[in-house]
A and B are shown apart, each in its own frame.
Chain A
Amino acid sequence: MTRYLSHIIAGEHLVMSGERALFWEGQQTLIIADLHVGKTGHFRKEGIGVPAAIYKDDLHRLLSQILFFKAERLIIVGDLSHSIANRELDLFRKWRKDFSSLEVHLAKGNHDILDNRWYEEADIMVHNEPLPLFPFLFAHDTDQIDEIPVDHFLFSGHVHPSVTIRGRGKQALSMPCFYFSKTHCILPAFSKFTGSYQVRPTTDDEVFGIVGNEVVQLQKKTISS
Chain B
Amino acid sequence: MKNSPGYNVIMNWLAGRGMHPFSFQEEAWKSILAGESGLVNAPTGFGKTYSVFLGALIDFINRHPDNYQTKSKNGLQLLWITPLRALAKDIGRAMEEVIVELGMSWKVGIRNGDTDINERARQKRQMPEVLIITPESLHLLLAQKGYPETLDSLRILAIDEWHELLGSKRGVQVELAISRIVGVKKRSQKNAGDPLRLWGISATIGNLEQAKEVLLSNIQREGVIVRANMHKKIEVESVIPDEIEKYPWAGHLGIKLVDKVIPIILENRTTLIFINTRGMSEMWYQSLLNAAPELAGAIALHHGSIDQELRQWVEENLHTGRLKAVVCTASLDLGVDFRPVETVIQVGSPKGVARFLQRAGRSGHQPDAVSKIYFLPTHSLELVEAAALKQAISEQLIESRDPMLLCFDVLVQYLCTLAISEGFTPDEVWEEIKRTYCFREITQDEWRQLLHYITEGGTALQQYDEYKKVEIIDGIFRITGRRVAMRHRLHIGTIVSDAMLKVKFLSGGFIGVIEEYFISRLEPGDTFTLAGRNLELVMIKDMTVLVRKSNAKKSAVPSWNGGRMPLSANLGKKLRETFNLAFEKKQLKAVELQALKPLFDRQEKHSHVPKANELLIEQIETKDGYHLFVYPFEGRLVHEAMAAILAYRISRIRPITFSFAMNDYGFELLSDQPIPVDDTNVYELFSPDNLFEDIQRSVNSTEMAKRKFRDIAVIGGLIFQGYPGEYKKARHLQSSASLLFKVFAEYEPDNLLMRQAYSEVFAQQMEEARLRDMLQRIQASEIVITWPEKLTPFCFPIKVDSMREDLSSEKLEDRVKKMQLLLEK
A: residues with CB less than 8 A from B are 1, 39, 41-57, 82-83, 86-88, 90-91, 111, 165-173, 192-195, 209, 211-212, 214, 216, 218-219, 221-222
Contact = CB atoms under 8 A, between A and B. Distances in A.
A100 to B, nearest CB: 21
A2 to B, nearest CB: 11
B659 A170 contact: yes
Interface of B: 453-454, 456-461, 463-469, 479, 481, 483-484, 487, 624-625, 657-659, 670-672, 717-718, 720, 732-733, 735-736, 738-740, 742-744, 746-748, 751, 804, 806, 808, 812-813, 815-820, 822-824
Given A44-B466, A46-B483, A171-B819, A212 B733 contact: no
A90 B487 CA distance: 27
A42 to B, nearest CB: 6
A166 to B, nearest CB: 8
A215 to B, nearest CB: 11
Contacts of A170: 659, 670, 804
Q: Which of B454, B465, B657 has the most CB of A within 10 A?
A: B465
A46 B733 contact: yes
Contact of B812 (A55, A211, A222): A211
Given A195-B735, A211-B816, A51 B744 contact: yes
B460 to A, nearest CB: 5
Nearest to B455: A49
Nearest to A53: B747
Contacts of B456: 49
B823 A53 contact: no
A125 B748 CA distance: 35
A54 B745 CA distance: 11
B625 A169 contact: yes
Nearest to B627: A169
B111 to A, nearest CB: 26
Q: Which of A44, A54, A55, A192 has the most CB of B within 10 A?
A: A44
Contact of A169 (B460, B670, B816): B670
Contact of B736 (A50, A87, A195): A195
B625 A168 contact: yes
B464 A90 contact: yes
Contacts of A194: 739
Contact of B469 (A47, A91, A172, A195): A47
Which 5 A/B pairs are nearest by Cβ-Cβ distance?
A49-B457, A47-B469, A167-B819, A51-B747, A44-B467
A178 to B, nearest CB: 15
A119 to B, nearest CB: 19
Q: Which of A90, A169, A216, A221 has the most CB of B within 10 A?
A: A169
B743 A44 contact: no
Contact of B464 (A1, A87, A222): A87
Nearest to A89: B464
Given A50-B744, A167-B819, A212-B812, 4 more contacts: A1-B813, A41-B466, A91-B464, A170-B670
Nearest to B716: A49
Contacts, number: 158
Q: Which of B671, B718, B732, B736 has the most CB of A within 10 A?
A: B732
A51 B735 contact: no
B816 A165 contact: yes
20 contacts: A1-B816, A45-B467, A46-B487, A47-B481, A47-B487, A48-B720, A49-B469, A51-B744, A52-B458, A52-B460, A87-B465, A167-B822, A168-B823, A169-B670, A172-B806, A194-B739, A195-B738, A211-B816, A221-B823, A221-B824
Contacts of A87: 463-466
Given A52-B459, A194-B739, A47 B467 contact: yes
Contacts of B672: 167-169
A88 B464 contact: yes
Given A46-B484, A222-B820, A51 B459 contact: yes
A50 B816 CA distance: 30
B816 A209 contact: yes
B691 to A, nearest CB: 26
Contacts of A48: 457, 717-718, 720, 733
B733 A42 contact: yes
Contacts of A82: 732
Contacts of B469: 47, 49
Contact of B484 (A47, A91, A192): A47
Contacts of A222: 819-820, 823
B718 A169 contact: no
A166 B466 CA distance: 43
A43 B804 CA distance: 34
Q: Which of A41, A171, A209 has the most CB of B within 10 A?
A: A171
Contact of A219 (B454, B804, B820): B820
Q: Which of A51, A53, A91 has the most CB of B within 10 A?
A: A51
A28 B467 CA distance: 38
A169 B739 contact: no
B732 A171 contact: no
B739 A41 contact: no
Nearest to B751: A51
Nearest to B416: A47
A72 B665 CA distance: 63
Contacts of A165: 816, 819-820
Contact of B817 (A1, A51, A168, A172): A1
Given A51-B744, A86-B466, A44 B457 contact: yes
Nearest to B744: A51
A45 B718 contact: no
A193 B746 CA distance: 11
Contacts of A46: 468, 483-484, 487, 733
Contacts of B817: 1
B460 A173 contact: no
A51 B742 CA distance: 11
Contacts of B466: 41, 44-45, 86-87
Contact of B823 (A55, A57, A219): A219
A173 B699 CA distance: 13
Contacts of A166: 819
Contacts of A221: 823-824
Nearest to A46: B733
B528 to A, nearest CB: 23
Q: Which of A49, A56, A166 has the most CB of B within 10 A?
A: A49
A192 B464 contact: no
A111 B815 CA distance: 36
B672 to A, nearest CB: 4
A49 B659 contact: no
Nearest to B804: A170
B320 to A, nearest CB: 49
A41 B816 contact: no
Contacts of B658: 169
